[in-house]
Amino acid sequence: MDKIEHKNVNVNGLSIHIAELGQGPLVLFIHGFPELWYSWRHQILFLAAHGYRAVAPDLRGYGDTTGAPVNDSSEFTCLHVVGDLVALLHAIAPDEEKVFVVGHDWGAMVAWYLCMFRPDKVKALVNMSVAFIPRNPLAKPVEMLRAYGGDDYYICRFQEPGDIEAELAQMGCKDFLKKMLAYRTPGPLFWPKGKGFGDSPDGPVVLPSWLTEEDVDYYASKFDKTGFTGGLNYYRAVNLHWELTAPWTGAKIKVPTKFVVGELDLTYYMRGVQDYIHKGGFKNDVPLLEDVVVVKDAAHFINQERPDEINKHIYDFIQRY
């Protein structure tokens, strides 16, 4: 990891921290929750060694990126985050008209909207875990999720500012990160108030082979400083994002795309998702979708759990373009 270079770039009133390595066509990696640039550590090293410039920012509200108003969730819609990334690309790669984009979890959501709003900036997309979600003009997302999973569904629990932060403070930053990163139960994630989440909320976590204590220590060192509110704001802004994206109702993603999801990923078990992915809906909304890969026995944090496979999927796909 010592080879990876770090710097901050001032755009949109933020100081965006990026990790980068390599020379060649730019590959932009977009992380999710509760993650950082660090979740792409394996991909950065691999792509840099294979002729690409790998760049992974800490998104607004995360890590060493500063300047975001974390007490105002209205500043965390995908419009804001896409704006950050477009400005970042103009600053660090002014001569590259288009770049490759790789997203995971919330980073996948941001990547879908980057491709929707600015397809002129993207050569090809590899997205993981979260399939494209077409806008439903009849219902706000949080209300739909509450109807699906009830008040204890984790995204619903994340809505009240300060509520889940208080529980995380009691749980402890490092313990939460261990439980979340090691989570691999397919199906909805429930977080009953005061009871934590997972199969044994109070039990010790045995780290999987792909996640070391040093990895967790790095994440914890950053979230101990920033807290989790910045990342939680993405969930708290989904209804506002829904309102602001009304002009794009029915819009399609017109960028060459590959989608990868773990067989045990909780997102793969949301109501209707598997039918949407495999029975034509996904291809209708993403007409340049070229491949869907379901990785056997892999869970949500697939780019860290199966780095060699994911590296190959990314490399093989972007090489075509």
Determine the average pLDDT of the residues in 173-180.
96
The tokens 């979340």 sit on which residue? 180
- Residue 19, SS3? strand
Helices vs. strands in the chain: H and E counts, helices first: 14, 8
pLDDT in the model for residue 195 = 84
Tell me the residue type at 319: Q
In the set 84, 105, 215, 285, the catalytic residue is: 105
Decide if 300 is catalytic.
yes
Say how far apart CA 66 and CA 247 lie, in whole Å. Answer: 31
pLDDT at 234 over 90: yes
Give the model's pLDDT for residue 30. Answer: 99
Q: What is the tens place of the pLDDT at every residue in 81-117? A: 999 999 999 999 999 999 999 999 999 999 999 999 9
Which residues, including other chains, have CB under 8 Å from residue 187's CB and lie 6 or more apart? 266, 269
Share of the chain above pLDDT 70, in %: 98
Is 235 labeled as catalytic in the residue annotation?
yes
Which pLDDT value is given to residue 200?
A: 55
Residue type at position 251:
A
Active-site hit among 234, 235, 268, 276: 235
Confidence band for 199, pLDDT divided at 50, 70 and 90: low
CATH code for the structural domain at 5-319: 3.40.50.1820
Tell me the average pLDDT of the chain.
Answer: 96
What is the pTM (predicted TM-score) of this model? 0.97
With contact defined as beta carbons under 8 Å apart, do 59 and 31 qualify? yes
Environment class of 188 (CB within 10 Å of its CB; exposed 0-12, middle 13-18, buried 19+): middle
Give the model's confidence band at 239: pLDDT under 50 very low, under 70 low, under 90 confident, else very high: very high
Q: Which residue has the tokens 């949109």?
A: 12
Catalytic residue among 17, 80, 241, 300: 300
Residue of 188 and 313 predicted with greater confidence:
313
pLDDT of 201 over the 60 cut? no
Q: pLDDT tens digits for 110-163?
A: 999 999 999 999 999 999 999 999 999 999 999 999 999 999 999 999 999 999
Determine whether 91 is exposed, middle or buried from the number of CB atoms within 10 Å of its CB (0-12, 13-18, 19+). middle
Q: Residues 153-170: pLDDT tens digits?
A: 999 999 999 999 999 999
Among 240, 273, 229, which Cα is nearest to 108's? 273
Structure confidence at residue 2 (pLDDT) = 75
Q: For this structure, is 321 an active site residue?
A: no
Would you say residue 273 has pLDDT above 60?
A: yes
Chain segment 20-57, per-residue pLDDT in tens: 999 999 999 999 999 999 999 999 999 999 999 999 99
Residues 6+ apart with CB under 8 A from 293: 258, 259, 260, 261, 313
For residues 133, 136, 140, 142, the Cα torsion angle rounded to the nearest 10 degrees is -30
Q: What is the pLDDT of residue 146?
A: 96
Check residue 198 and give its pLDDT: 62
Q: Where are the alpha helices (DSSP H) in the chain?
A: 41-49, 78-92, 106-117, 141-149, 154-157, 163-171, 173-181, 213-226, 229-236, 238-244, 273-278, 281-285, 302-305, 307-318
Does residue 309 register a pLDDT over 80? yes
